């Protein structure tokens, strides 16, 4: 027999995810680790970490990391890349970090066409603080700060980052993927790899928005949460590649 699955080497030895049961952060981080393995770049990579559940990536990945204050991961990554143009630089943030407090940094990093790869986990809520309304909370979604559901007259609309980033001229690749099923996970990995590849080829900013579950704050079982991604969430945030300058 042949081994067809193993723990990616880019993980630290004896890492243990501290996420809630069923949380898709673990899948996203594993895909990043697998891609770092496959591209053989882990030893040449530096990451700027964000704030929120995603910050703990430095506990799990065997990658040099520098912490940035909330929302400033892409600014910090820009500094790293400008100082070390030969290094591979990536950020891994939640939607609150990337699309709310850090929106200016995210858009301008894309507009400048920084040779950086960024991942944004979209779980439509602020997970670490207990499930508040965030920039991506869907219309009608109940959170601790939208107890009657997100009413568009009162709270406004969710932001669609993959589309916005695709509109920036400096963006080389922008896609939205999901982690709810095996086919979608396979697609997600391809997108993650492509987002790194455009950096390696010096083409510009690579971005992947990853629809992922937060069963704890959605008050759902993991399977119900994945069902929500396939349904309501995918309707608000359609999956697909929004920009790929290599095609």
Partner 1 sequence: MGRIVIDQKRCKSCYICTQTCPKSLIKKSDKTNRLGDYMVEFVDPKGECIGCAMCAKRCPDVAITEVWR
Partner 2 sequence: MKSSEKVLIKGNYAIAQAAVNAGCQCYFGYPITPQTEIGEYLSGKMQELGRGYVCAESELAAINMVMGAVSTGVKAMTSSSSCAVALMQEALSYAASDELPVVLVNVMRTGPGLGYIYPAQGDYNQAVVGGGNGDYKIIVLAPSNVQECIDYTYRAFYLAQKYRNPVILLADGLLGQMMEPASFGEYPYPEVDTSSWALSGANGREARAIYSCAREEKKQIQHIQDLYKKFQVIAQNETSYEEFMTDDADIIITAFGSMTRNIKAAMNVLREKGIKAGCFRPITLSPFPTERINKLASEGKDFIVVEMNMGQMFKDVKYAINGKAKCDLVNRPCGEWLSVEEIVSSVEKILEKNYAASV
Euclidean distance between the first and final Cα of the chain, in Å?
A: 38
Which residues on neighbouring strands pair with residue 239, listed in sequence order? none
Question: Does 171 participate in binding partner 2 (rule CB under 8 A)?
Answer: no
- The values of phi and psi at residue 45, to 5°, are -115, 140
For the chain, what is the radius of gyration of the CA atoms? 17
Nearer to partner 2 (CB atom), residue 48 or residue 174: 48
Q: CA-CA distance, 21 to 235, in Å (whole number)?
A: 25
Stretch that binds partner 1, among 73-81, 99-107, 136-144, 216-224 (CB under 8 A): 216-224
CB contact at 8 A, 112 and 69: no
Site size toward partner 1 (CB under 8 A) is 29
Site size toward partner 2 (CB under 8 A) is 38
How near is the Cβ of 86 to partner 1 at its closest, in Å?
A: 30
Q: CA-CA distance, 147 to 140, in Å (whole number)?
A: 10
Residue 176: which residues within 8 A CB-CB, separation 6 or more? 122, 162, 208, 209, 210, 211, 237, 238, 239, 240, 242
Stretch that binds partner 2, among 54-62, 137-145, 159-167, 215-223 (CB under 8 A): 54-62
Give the footprint of partner 2 on residues 78-137 (CB under 8 A). Answer: 78-84, 87-88, 104-105, 107-108, 112
Distance of CA 148 to the CA centre of its chain: 28
CB contact at 8 A, 143 and 133: yes
Q: CA-CA distance, 64 to 168, in Å (whole number)?
A: 28
How near is the Cβ of 38 to partner 1 at its closest, in Å?
A: 15
Residue that the structure tokens 């004896």 belong to = 14
Q: Which of 9, 12, 21, 85 binds partner 1 (CB under 8 A)?
A: 21
Question: Does 13 participate in binding partner 1 (rule CB under 8 A)?
Answer: no
The DSSP call for residue 166 is H
Q: CA-CA distance, 24 to 107, in Å (whole number)?
A: 25
Stretch that binds partner 1, among 1-9, 50-58, 85-93, 228-236 (CB under 8 A): 1-9
**Residue 223 contact partner, candidates partner 1, partner 2, none, CB within 5 to 8 A by sort of partner:** partner 1
Question: Does 185 participate in binding partner 1 (rule CB under 8 A)?
Answer: yes
**Residue 16 contact partner, candidates partner 1, partner 2, none, CB within 5 to 8 A by sort of partner:** partner 1
Q: Which of 38, 223, 224, 235 binds partner 1 (CB under 8 A)?
A: 223
Residue numbers of the site for partner 1 (CB under 8 A)? 1-7, 11, 16-17, 19-27, 30, 181-182, 185-186, 215, 221-223, 226
Residue numbers of the site for partner 2 (CB under 8 A)? 12, 42-46, 48-49, 55, 58, 61-69, 71-72, 75-84, 87-88, 104-105, 107-108, 112
């Amino acid at each position: 027999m042949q081994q067809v699955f193993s723990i990616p080497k880019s993980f630290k030895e004896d890492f243990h995810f501290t996420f809630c049961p069923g949380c898709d952060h673990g899948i996203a981080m594993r895909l990043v680790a697998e891609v770092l393995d496959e591209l053989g770049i882990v030893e040449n990579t530096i990451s700027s970490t964000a704030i929120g559940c995603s910050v703990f990536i430095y506990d799990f990945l065997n990658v040099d990391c520098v912490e940035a204050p909330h929302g400033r991961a892409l600014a910090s990554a820009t500094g790293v890349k400008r100082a070390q143009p030969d290094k591979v630089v990536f950020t891994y943030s939640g939607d609150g970090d990337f699309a709310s407090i850090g929106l200016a940094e995210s858009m301008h990093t894309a507009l400048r066409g920084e040779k950086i790869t960024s991942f944004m986990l979209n779980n439509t809520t602020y997970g670490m603080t207990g499930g508040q309304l965030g920039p991506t909370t869907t219309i009608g979604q109940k959170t601790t700060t939208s107890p009657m559901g997100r009413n568009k007259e009162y709270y406004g609309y969710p932001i669609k980052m993959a589309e916005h980033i695709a509109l920036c001229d400096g963006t080389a690749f922008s896609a939205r993927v999901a982690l709810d099923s095996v086919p979608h996970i396979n697609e997600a990995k391809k997108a993650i790899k492509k987002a790194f590849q455009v950096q390696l080829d010096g083409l510009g900013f690579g971005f992947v928005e990853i629809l992922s579950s937060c069963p704890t704050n959605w008050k759902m079982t993991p399977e119900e949460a994945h069902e929500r991604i396939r349904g309501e969430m995918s309707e608000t945030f359609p999956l697909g590649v929004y920009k790929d300058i290599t095609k």
